[in-house]
Amino acid sequence: MKRPKIKNIPYKEFKDNETFEKLVAELNAKGTNVIVRKLDELIDWGRSNSLWPLTFATSCCGIEFMAVCAARYDIARFGFEVTRNSPRQADVILVSGTITTKMAPVLRRLYDQMADPKYVVAVGGCAISGGPFTKSFHVVNGVDQIIPVDVYVPGCPPRPESFLYGMMQLQRIVKVENFFGTTNRKQKDPYREEAEQRAEALYQQEEQA
Amino acid sequence: MTEQNEQSKPQAAAAKPAPAARPAAAPAAPAKPAENELKPRVLAPAEARAELVRLKEKEGMDYLENLTGVDWGEEGLGVVYQLENTTTHQRVAIKTLTADRENPFLPSVSDLWDIANIYEREVYDFYGIKFTGHPDMRRIFMREDWVGYPFRKDDETEKNNPLRMTNEPLADTTDSYILQQDGTITKETHNIFEEDEYVVNIGPQHPSTHGVLHFRVSLEGERIRKIDPILGYIHRAVEKISENMTYPQTLALTDRLDYLGAMQNRHALCMCIEKAMGIEVSERVQVIRTIMDELQRIDSHILFFSCLCQDMGATTAFLYGFRDREEILKIFEETCGGRLILNYNTIGGVMADIHPNFQKRVKEFIPYMRKNIKEYHDIFTGNVIFQNRAKGVGVLTRDQVISFGCTGGTGRAAGWSNDVRKHHPYAAYGKVNFNEVLRTEGDSFARYMIRLDEILESLNIIEQLIDNIPEGPFQEKTKPIIKVPAGTYYSSVEGSRGEFGVFLESKGDKSPYRLHYRSTGLPLVAVMDTACRGNMIADLITIGGTVDYVVPDIDR
């Protein structure tokens, strides 16, 4: 690859908060209601400090995730320590490790099983782009081909500090969201259309009868 | 020492001349034949099987160390068997091949060694060689609807297999091919699970399978009747992509196989290439590598302890383990720069010399760890719940572990002395005194105790070496482009969880023709069925935890 497309924020912006402030301004510009916004802030404050990750790890990055959970790096400082084994109870999926083509449908299903609002963090080179296994026939080159990713954490594997940095960026994303009316209904009901068609067909049938 | 000097001289001389003056035919072959060259005997399929039966029955070659499928192009597809005698530790290699690429058949040896069952399925999956007499000829790593055989040199894998987002089909039946008296081959289909069996899926996403592993478990009430492991959720085709990489590039992937044995894995590959090329590494490097391997082993065993405790609900013990593991990672980080993936060994040495603080820190660590092991025993080993769930559970006999090739702690817990460090000494292991920890019970508790005792043994090894690191270069001079002379090579090290071997077939190019890793974890997963039968489903987690497999190492 001659010109790699880097997916994270530019290096300069890494230091200042302009990017995020712009993001905040943008989000605030889109119909912020005074009362609801206050409620939003309260809810977002709570949500951002209690993001429950799904225990999902396929390879090396999972071990670093365990290290982050342990005493020295102590993920509990940020309220992420409640790791859930069921996707139904989790808020965020940390894709730590290589996703192979065999695993891809499983990951997709796990993501679909999570309740909204849900977030995805791609941890490590493999989840971002395939990492050292890009040329392998059995590796998905970037988990964003399967599910939408909110935060990318580079590294092979990322240091615990970068883990925490990535999770803090996710907190910032959560903090500026409008919970009412948007975030809590982010995903469209995939069966809605089907259900409508079925209802229509039933109606037609009854009409004919 | 004289030997080493003689060896290093031609190397240094070869590296010196200016590029223009370099002779066209560089001395590719080393002065003396490589000590790890396999030189497998080539036999016709039927003869090979007869010979394997003879070797097992008459010469006591009861351990199938490795089974590698290879695509020799024009010559055909075939298999290399590597056997070892468990008493004399003699090794033998047999090669057999078939020229038929359309419908390759070879006789199965799965009736001789239990582990051959899963190895032959792997070869079938990669190369499409069907084994006659094998009871269960299914794919093992790829999806069942995969098209083609990806490891063949002429396979158009990428074209035939786009990313499928449909759920993976799982067949309930399996095929076996039987060679009849008249030479024809018939196909038989039989059920994996019967109609009335109660089958529970554990995995691929399950927190206590230690990765993405899928077990189909047939239950009789709470008792396990049969386990069918489904692998390949983290199959990254490391062996295949290595075929298009130069030797120094292939090194980076070994760290990511068994990431808790990163040092040892890379050590194995470096050693295999060095011995094949005739590079003698300095004493200093040998000692550094040995210390690093042992630190890695302690790291892995602590993680084993932590995860086992976590799986059984003892969160405090998990935190204790990780507290001590961080101390090792700190030592690694100073010298290697990495915490988990270390990228330290190179062909002909190590990446950088040890950090000035290295010796001091290691010496601080040894008494610290000895003290903390006592703490582990206090908090967890004596626990009644743990004792009840581990003692007499998941018993494996010595014959079973040999037949399944379960090396490392799992094998030693059943009384099989299989330590590569002892029987085929490499690096500085020949110079240190240490005991091979053996137990005879073969249950989960023995497997657990073995690992904790091995931590102490590793500390002993480090203690003997840390003050005596000899002076010398940390990196031998090698040619800018590394080419391994044509031949078949095999080197193995004692990884964190068993014998980690590297099978390397070279045609004299700058990238390997076939690179195969003897996975430490694959036999451990294969043995789960035997270990768990008749036990409670809840004990599957304990048995899996004590057997201690790492999934990316199984799938490679």
pLDDT digits (tens, 9 = 90+) for B281-315: 888 899 999 999 999 999 999 999 998 888 888 88
What are the C-alpha distances in Å from B404 to residues A166, B410, B422?
43, 11, 21
Exposure string over B369-399, b if 16+ CB within 10 A, otherwise e: beebbeebeeebbebeebeebbeebbbbeee
Residues of B in contact with A66 (CB under 8 A): 306-307, 322
Please enumerate in sequence order all residues whose Cβ is within 8 A of that of A153, keeping only pairs 6 or more positions apart, or say none. A121, A122, A123, A124, A162, A163, A165, A166
B41 backbone φψ class: left, alpha, beta (φ>0; ψ -120 to 50): beta
Categorize the per-residue pLDDT at B37 as very low, low, confident or very high, splitting at 50, 70 and 90. confident
Complex-level ipTM beyond the 0.90 threshold: no
Which pLDDT score, from 0 to 100, does residue B383 have? 87
pLDDT at site A33: 58
Report the distance separating Cα B497 and Cα B520, nearest Å. 6
Crossing angle of helices A160-175 and A60-69, rounded to 10°:
80
Is the separation of the CB atoms in B257 and B552 below 8 Å?
yes
User: Is the distance from CB of B244 to CB of B503 less than 8 angstroms?
Assistant: no
Give residue B5's pLDDT: 45
- Order of all β-strands in the sheet with B198-202: B198-202, B214-220, B223-230
Closest chain A residue by Cα to residue B151: A137
Per-residue confidence band for B469, with pLDDT thresholds at 50, 70 and 90 = confident
Summarised one tens digit per residue, pLDDT across range B94-119 is 889 888 888 888 888 888 888 999 99
Residue B151 amino acid letter: F
pLDDT at A136: 87
As a whole number of Å, the CA-based R_g of chain B is: 24
Give the model's pLDDT for residue B2: 42
Give yes or no for residue B38 having a pLDDT over 60.
yes
- Residue B6 confidence (pLDDT) above 70: no
Q: CB-based burial of residue B503 (10 Å sphere; 0-12 exposed, 13-18 middle, 19+ buried)?
A: buried
Question: B408: Cβ–Cβ under 8 A, 6 or more apart, which residues?
Answer: B418, B494, B495, B496, B497, B498, B499, B520, B548
DSSP structure class, residue B355: P
pLDDT at B51: 87
Summary mean pLDDT of chain B: 85
- Please answer yes or no on whether A60 and B164 come within 8 Å at the CB atom: no
Comparing C-alpha atoms, which of A134, A124, A155 is closest to residue A56? A124
* Span A67-88, pLDDT tens digits: 888 888 888 888 888 888 888 8
- Tokens 């980080």, residue located: B333
The full length of chain B comes to 556
Mean pLDDT over B331-342 rounds to 88
Among B165, B235, B260, beta carbon nearest to A104: B165
Q: Give the gap in angstroms from C-alpha B373 to the nearest C-alpha of chain A.
A: 18
Chain B nearest-CA distance from A18, in A, is 32
Alpha-carbon span B539 to B208, nearest angstrom:
12
A206 secondary structure, DSSP code: H
Nearest-angstrom CA–CA distance, B184 and B189: 17
Percent above pLDDT 70 for chain A:
79
The pLDDT > 70 percentage for chain B reads 94
Mean pLDDT of B536-552: 87
Q: What are the backbone dihedrals phi and psi of residue B429, each rounded to the nearest 5 degrees, phi first?
A: -70, -25
B486 in Cβ contact with B303 (< 8 Å): no
Return the pLDDT at B31.
Answer: 54
| Average pLDDT rounded to a whole number, residues B65-91 | 88
Q: In sequence order, which residues have a C-beta less than 8 Å from that of residue A189 and are 6 or more positions away?
A: none
* Cβ contacts of A159 on chain B, cutoff 8 Å: 339
Determine, for residues B143 and A58 on separate chains, whether the beta-carbon distance falls below 8 Å.
no
Find residues 146-165 of chain B whose CB sits inside 8 Å of chain A: 150, 157-158, 161, 163-165
Task: For B137-148, write each residue's pLDDT tens digit.
Answer: 888 888 888 888
Say if the Cβ atoms of B236 and A57 lie within 8 Å.
Answer: no
Condensed to tens digits (0 to 9), the pLDDT of residues B113-145 reads: 889 999 999 999 898 888 888 888 888 888 888
Contacts of B253 in chain A (CB under 8 A): 132-133
Note which residues in 117-146 of chain B have CB less than 8 A from chain A.
Answer: 141-143
Place of tokens 């508790």: B445
Percent of chain B with pLDDT over 90: 10
Residue of chain B with shortest Cα separation from A137 = B158
Determine the pLDDT at residue B368.
92
Report pLDDT for B367: 92
Taking every pair of C-alpha atoms in chain B, what is the biggest distance, in angstroms?
A: 77
Residue B26 pLDDT > 70, yes or no? Answer: no
Each residue of B82-112: b (16+ CB within 10 Å) or e? bbbbbeeeebbbbbbbbeebeebebbbbbeb
Answer yes or no: is pLDDT of B246 > 80.
yes
**Per-residue model confidence (pLDDT) at position B298:** 92
Cβ neighbour number for residue B434 with a 10 Å cutoff: 18
| Nearest beta carbon to residue B259 from set A60, A145, A159 | A60
How far is B337 from B335, CA to CA, in rounded Å?
6
Residue B301 has a pLDDT of 92
Is residue B17 scored above 80 in pLDDT?
no
Enumerate helices (H) and strands (E) in chain A, giving the number of each.
8, 4
pLDDT at B392 over 80: yes
- Would you call B236 and A98 a contact, using CB atoms and an 8 Å cutoff? yes
Look at residue A89 and tell me whether its pLDDT is greater than 60.
yes
Q: What gap in Å lies between CA A102 and CA A111, rounded to an integer?
A: 15
Q: Report d(CA B475, CA B506) in Å as an integer.
A: 24
Residue A117 pLDDT grade (very low, low, confident, very high; cuts 50, 70, 90): confident
What's the rounded Cα separation, in Å, for the pair A76 and A82?
8
For residue B183, the model assigns a pLDDT of 77
Which of A52, A56, A102 has the highest number of chain B CBs within 10 A, making it the mutation to test binding with B? Answer: A102
Chain B residues lying within 8 Å of A139, measured CB to CB? 236-237
For residues B510 and B490, the answer to whether their CB atoms sit within 8 Å is: no
pLDDT band, residue B409 (cuts 50/70/90): confident
| Per-residue pLDDT reduced to its tens digit, A119-150 | 899 998 888 988 888 888 888 888 888 888 88
**Which pLDDT score is estimated for A10?**
54
Residues B530-549: what's their mean pLDDT? Answer: 88
Helix count (H) and strand count (E) of chain B? 19, 16
| pLDDT band at B74; cut points 50, 70, 90 | confident
**Which distant-in-sequence residues (6+ apart) come within 8 Å of A86 by Cβ?**
A54
User: Could you tell me which residues are beta bridge partners of residue B188?
Assistant: B176
pLDDT of residue A171: 85
Residue of B nearest to A104 (CA): B165
Cβ–Cβ < 8 Å for B416, B398:
yes
